[in-house]
């Protein structure tokens, strides 16, 4: 019996912004546009969870804002904005629906990965698609068999965030190597229509991300529609060779960590807003005054706010530092990459604690399915399970580096 396929929405591609519209987009204007979408995103958050994907009207509004051009190089007509702008624009909607923001922020950031392909391939892709909507799936890796002109790709990948509105997919695969040789891991890109998206995403949280499984069987991919992952991990891929050691020459994993942390930070900020509103009117049984007059409620709200503010400072710092880290040589660079990962993992835990603290402050009503706070809590609890935020792994790696021991994980 065949597995059901997901009801995905491959874009028609008839809504790209004109050159004049893009020229008018400053960082402040992009952030402003994303902020105006917050009520729309919040209004459809419950529906997105029910559909198990972002709502089409919301996704189309994000497309119209110009957000997905953020990490497309100016050379190819993109905005090439700085990480702080990307963070601020993402947080504008992440406070309303962390799951929708998860799919959107990965789709935007994955254009950074397109910049790691050979320059001629970038020109071909961005010449037809001014920006790309694509999941990037690494686990479990597929298999790429070398053939004339490229590879035959086969595999089934999990965690396809963004695939429900994707026009391309990016998939990691292992290329066979002689015994004793180092692994050859490559990321390949292919049209979304050439892959199967299997309806597997049934989750307690992050349901609206639509992160379904992706499968490909014996599919030909030209050699220049992929890149070796190893050099990109240290910012030594095509991005650096073409654009220099700045944004596109920064190490890959810290960029991923920052991206994945933004929906959790948005959830924390959104929970604080909802908690403050609830405390203004909530009266606990047996009390005559509202909860906002209670010192315990005030302290919980304050603690959540400081946790979220501290996390945001840490995340923004990592995003900026990672650009400079790309210029470092080994072994210093690996040590810094490990530290940046641990720093973001700690910040995400602060976000989770902030959401939990808010939920503890507002009473039993938080557990009603109509209350957006319970959705934010479930979302962040699932988000924190992402491998890059495993605090045990992240802090062990950082501790080993501090005492001069080599890393004991390949995820660097």
Cβ(219)–Cβ(152) below 8 Å: yes
**pLDDT, position 289:** 61
Q: What is the mean pLDDT of residues 26-46?
A: 98
Cβ(315)–Cβ(258) below 8 Å: yes
Strand pairing category for 168-175 and 136-147: parallel
CA distance 28 to 229: 34
pLDDT in tens, 256-277: 999 999 999 999 999 999 999 8
Residue 146 bridge partners (DSSP):
151
- 122/289: higher pLDDT: 122
Structure token pair of residue 97? 């629906």
Q: What is the mean pLDDT of residues 122-143?
A: 96
| 284 cis-preceded (ω within 30 degrees of 0) | no
**pLDDT, position 411:** 83
Domains of the chain: 19-128 (1.10.540.10), 136-228 (2.40.110.10), 250-402 (1.20.140.10)
Residue 218 backbone phi and psi in degrees, to 5: 50, 50
Burial of 9 (0-12, 13-18, 19+ CB in 10 A): middle
Residues 6+ away with beta carbon under 8 Å from 249: 235, 236, 239, 240, 243, 323, 326, 327
Q: Would the CA dihedral through 112, 116, 117, 119 be positive or negative?
A: positive
Nearest to 361 by CA among 343, 352, 373: 373
**pLDDT, position 121:** 98
């Amino acid at each position: 019996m065949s597995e059901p396929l997901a009801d995905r929405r491959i874009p028609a591609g008839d809504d790209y912004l004109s050159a004049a519209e893009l020229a008018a987009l400053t960082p402040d204007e992009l952030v402003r546009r994303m902020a105006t979408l917050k009520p729309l995103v919040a209004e459809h958050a419950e529906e997105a969870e029910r559909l198990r994907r972002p709502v089409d009207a919301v996704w189309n509004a994000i497309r119209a804002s110009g957000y997905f051009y953020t990490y497309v190089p100016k050379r190819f007509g993109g905005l090439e904005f700085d990480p702080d702008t990307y963070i601020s624009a993402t947080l504008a909607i992440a406070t309303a629906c962390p799951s929708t923001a998860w799919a959107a922020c990965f789709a935007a950031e994955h254009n950074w990965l397109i910049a790691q392909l050979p320059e001629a391939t970038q020109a071909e892709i961005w010449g037809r698609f001014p920006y790309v909507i694509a999941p990037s799936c690494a686990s479990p890796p597929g298999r790429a068999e070398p053939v004339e002109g490229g590879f035959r790709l086969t595999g089934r990948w999990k965690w396809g965030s963004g695939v429900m509105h994707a026009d391309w997919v990016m998939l990691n695969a292992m290329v066979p190597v002689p015994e004793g040789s180092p692994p050859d891991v490559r990321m390949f890109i292919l049209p979304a229509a050439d892959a199967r998206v299997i309806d597997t995403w049934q989750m307690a949280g992050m349901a609206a991300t639509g992160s379904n499984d992706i499968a490909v069987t014996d599919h030909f991919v030209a050699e220049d529609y992929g890149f070796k992952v190893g050099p990109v991990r240290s910012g030594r891929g095509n991005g650096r060779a073409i654009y220099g050691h700045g944004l596109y020459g920064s190490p890959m994993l810290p960029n991923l960590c920052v991206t994945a942390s933004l929906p959790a930070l948005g959830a924390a900020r959104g929970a604080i807003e909802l908690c403050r509103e609830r405390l203004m009117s909530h009266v606990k049984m047996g009390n005559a005054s509202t909860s906002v007059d209670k010192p315990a409620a005030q302290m919980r709200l304050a603690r959540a706010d400081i946790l979220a503010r501290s996390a945001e400072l840490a995340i923004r710092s990592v995003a900026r530092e990672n650009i400079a880290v790309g210029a470092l040589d080994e072994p210093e660079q690996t040590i810094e990459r490990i530290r940046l990962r641990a720093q973001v993992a700690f910040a995400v835990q602060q976000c989770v604690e902030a959401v939990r603290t808010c939920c503890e402050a507002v009473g039993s009503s938080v557990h009603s399915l109509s209350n957006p706070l319970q959705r934010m809590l479930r979302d962040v609890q699932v988000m924190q399970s992402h491998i890059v935020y495993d605090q045990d792994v992240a802090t062990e790696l950082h501790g080993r580096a501090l005492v001069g021991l080599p890393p004991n994980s390949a995820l660097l």
